[in-house]
Every structure is written in C-alpha cells, then in structure tokens.
Amino acid sequence: MRRALAAIAALVLAAMVAPPAGAANLLTNAGFETGSLAGWSCSNASIVTSPVHSGSHALAATATASDNARCTQTVPVRPNTAYTVSAWVSGNPVYLGVTGGPSTWTGSPGYTQLSLSFTSGAGQTSAELYLHGWYGAGTYHADDVVLDGPGGSDPGTPAAPGNPSAGAVTGSSVTLSWPAVTGATGYRVYEGDTVRATVAGTTATISGLAACSTHTYTVAAYNTAGESARSAPVTATTSGCQQADLPRHALIGYLHASFANGSGYVRMADVPAAWDVVNLAFGEPTTPTSGDIRFSLCPVAECPNVETEAEFTAAIRAKQAQGKKVLISIGGANGQVQLTTTAARDAFVRSVSAIIDRYGLDGLDIDFEGHSLYLNPGDTDFRNPTTPVIVNLISALRTLKSRYGSDFVLTMAPETFFVQVGYQFYGGAGGGDNRTGSYLPVIHAMRDALTVLHVQDYNSGPVMGLDNQYHNMGGADFHIAMTDMVKAGFPVARTGHTFPGLREDQIAFGLPAAVSAGNGYTPPAQVHQALNCLARNQNCGGYTLRGGASPAIRGLMTWSINWDRYYGWEFQNSHRPFLNGLP
C-alpha cells in the first residue's frame, strides 16, 4: 500500500510540475557578446576577449578578500515549472546557482560546463541566477550561460503590473494602486500566496486588518489567457502603532554604568540634556544559558567617582522629568545570552523586570552579540523561526512588552552581520556561519512593538547592499546603503522569503563617538551627508535609495556617551544641532 501511495503521489507531482516544454534561454546577453555587462548586475567584473568558450567575449570577474565578484540576472519564470541552468567556466573557483535554490561549483584551468536544475515554487514568478568566485581566490571566467525553460507567462497573458504603491492607510485598511496593464481585464492583489482582493481597476483597499500591523502585497494582472507574473512587492503598516514619547529625531547613547572601559565614568547626573535616550551598559547573565540578568553600578575601585545607588536613581528620575528615556541594555560584547530553554526565558523575564522596577526604567535595549543568537540547520523562514534561542527571546520580549504596556521603549542594536548580511547568507540555510541574519526573526516578530532599531554601522566587514555592491564602513556610503536596506527590506539569502522594511520612525543608525570607541569612526561631515541622503534624498553620492526618502528617520545612536565626553563632546555638539534641522 505504501509503495502504491508513493507511486500515485509521484504521478500527481509530475502532473503539477510543468516540464520545460518550449524551452528557451531566458537570459539577456547570455554569452556577453554585446561586449558589455548589459543585463547583468556584477561587482568587480569586466568583459574580455580571451579566454572565451565561444564567440568573441566572455566574463572575467576577480574575487578579492572583501568581494566574491558576484554577477546576477533575474528573469521571469512560471510557478511549478522545471528549469535547467548551465555555464561554461574556467580559472579559479566559480559558483553557479539560483538564489533560494541549488548551486554547484568547480575550479578548472580550462573551460568546464557547470549545470543544475530546479523547479520553481508554487507562487514563484521570478528567479535570480548568480555566478561568483570565492573571497581572495582571484579571477574566474564565464561564458555561454543558460537558464532554459518557458518564460514567465503563457502567450496572450498580460505583462506584470508596474510597481504598486501604498496610499491611504488607516488603523484597519491599506489602499494600493498600480499602473494599468495593456490587455488586462482585472487584477488580483496577493499577500503571500493568498488573494486579498480582485478588482477591475488599478486600485484596491484591503480592509479588516489589525492596527499597527505590517503587510506585504504583490499584484498580478489577468485576462482570459491567464495571469501575469506578479509585481514587485509593496509593504505598508496600518496606523494605531503605540509610539514612545521621543523627539522626532533623537540622539541615543550608551552610558558605561557598570564599568569604565578606559574612557572614564560619567555620572548619570552629568549626562548632558542633548541625549534623548540613555542606554545603561550592561545587564549581563550569571552564566550564558541561565537567563538570569544582573546589573550593578561600576565598582569604586574601577570608577572612583561613581555615585551611590540613591544618587543614581534620583538622577534617572531627573532625566525622565526632562522627557528623557533611560533603558537597561542587555548583552554587549562580553554578555552572551542564550535562552536555550523555557526556564532561561522565564528567568530572563523575571530578572530584567526586577532591574527595570528597581530603577524605574523606561524600557529595554537588546544588544546581543557574539554567539547569543544563531539559527539551527533547516530554520530558513524568519517569519516562523524554530531555533530555541530565537523563539524564547521573542516570547520573553512579548511578555515584557505586555507587562509594561504602550509606554515601554524597546530598542535593538544588532551588528550588520546579524541583519544586513542576511541578504547574502542566512544561518539556518547552511553553507556558512549559522549566526548570519539571526536578528531578522526577532526584529520581524517584534516590529509592531519595536521603538528603534539602531544597527551598529561599525566593527563590520564589507557588506553587500541592495545595489549588489560591497560597502565599507567609515563613510557616508556605508550608512546610506545599510540604513536603506532596513527601510526598503530585502530578500533573505537563499530562503525564498523577503524581509519587509521597517517604518522610518523606527530606524536610526549607530556609529562610534570617536576613533577610540570602535572601528568605523565616521567624520561628522560624512554623517551629515548620510542623514541628508536618507531624510531628504539629497547628496547620496550616486547611490539610489530603494526605500525612498525617510524624513521621519529617528536619528543616531553612538557608542558611547563616555567616549564622547572623553573627546570633548564632538559627537553631541556636531550632531544634535544637525538632527534638530532635519525635516
């Protein structure tokens, strides 16, 4: 019986998956015979006339220590359809693959053909083919690249609609609009693979939504011949979000309250009024997996000028009376927090609550670094994580948010490795470090309760942006590209899922206060250029914002207030007036 059922299932699957009938190479400039990179998006690549596999031109791309020389091309495909991919390659190691699907590689002094096959998903309407080398390995060559199979639509079906946009938003509805498509008799609005609206015109209002909930939609046109490929996604958040009482553009800083760190101790009462949010660094666990978080003021032996607990608490109250927010920051470089069990989760909630209550704090900052967060093999959907350290942290944060209510301030300070690097590599998908992108499920799960995400744009290696180019810390370009990724959202590595962008008022970016505070110090003029680009879409240095201008961008975070004091308050004095001048 089991064999019979298996055979029937195989026949059903074969019927569902269309063969590559009418196959054709879907790639543009597949043999690079235009003499250019037309149709391709590449880094560190050029066109050469030798060596070639056929014709007169081939691709040459050089992988450096910070750039794997990636070339990509995206083509429309049909759902549930089989495709084959091949390329002739030579030289140093070169990888051929499909984003979210299989890959293969070789290293050969002469041209060798790589090939693979894949089947598009049930709702898949496009596929990204890629070639790349390996970091530091040198130059590879590629020629005669093929992605064989039927194009994205049956004959007579309309083209995919142009980019949709979100219009009027209420606490329970989102209105979408998109350009008309020639030959279409109607349009379907999808959320994931679910049809949310079917309309004859080019607008639709999706209602019945929860307040402060984020949704991502695509649109397909249809007629009697069939349905088009889907449009690019658009993300919108309904109104009704609980907003912390912060300035439109805030200055956020960490205060070394439990240690001196070479920069000296700064008493809470001596923190200047320019700082809107003060993160107390750090609450740390008794052991990495206990979940039991402890915080105490810097010992007198290390910080001779430390205040008493009573003075510290009184100073917090004075800051709060001025409208400032004071948070406990959990983690840091030395505070590994791994909530591997529900017992650790519950201990985390109890102990963090005790710290908040003891000092009357406004909320919590999550600064998990090192090996605190990671993804188990096979945990590839950031929307539905399964790794215990992720699941338990999300549960703990939801409990704390529920306990303290709408005024509770929740911020996060991940490194780029845990967020933006998820565009290329996602830990649970295998093939690399299992920590890459591991903050994404936490950010996504808490997005409606998250006050500010301020990614650490420092102590980072080169990171690929949405332009598929690598960006290096220390200048305006890095802050622009990294922050735009958080606003626009991005496909998550090889998982087939897209991380939706955050609201602009939830976004800040972090940088060192001074050269001694961390790698990636950015001169004030470069910081201001980045803010002008992000808030006004001006002076972007050739970078195109995928997420558009963010006039309500929340502001800047720095490590740290202590280091800023040590260097004569350059950060505060340069950036507080500039933030005040933003729209």
Q: Would the CA dihedral through 75, 64, 417, 118 be positive or negative?
A: positive
HSE toward the beta carbon, residue 138, CA cutoff 13 A: 6
Q: With both helix axes pointing from N to C terminus, report the angle between 476-488 and 524-536 in degrees, rounded to the nearest 10.
A: 30
In the block, tokens 């309500």 appear at 552
Question: Catalytic residues, which ones?
Answer: 369
- For residue 77, what is the enclosing H or E element? none
Chain-centroid distance of CA 201 in Å reads: 33
CA 511 to chain centre: 18
* DSSP code of residue 38: T
474-510 core/surface letters (b: 16 or more CB in 10 A; e: else): bbbbbbbbbbbbbbbbbbbbbbbbebbbbbbbbbbbb
479 neighbors 529 (Cβ within 8 angstroms): no
User: CA nearest 238: which of 212, 216, 217?
Assistant: 212
Residue 113 burial class via C-beta count within 10 angstroms: exposed 0-12, middle 13-18, buried 19 and up? middle
* Beta-strand relationship, 214-223 and 226-227: antiparallel
Residue 235 Cα distances to 55, 176, 405, 499, angstroms:
44, 10, 26, 10
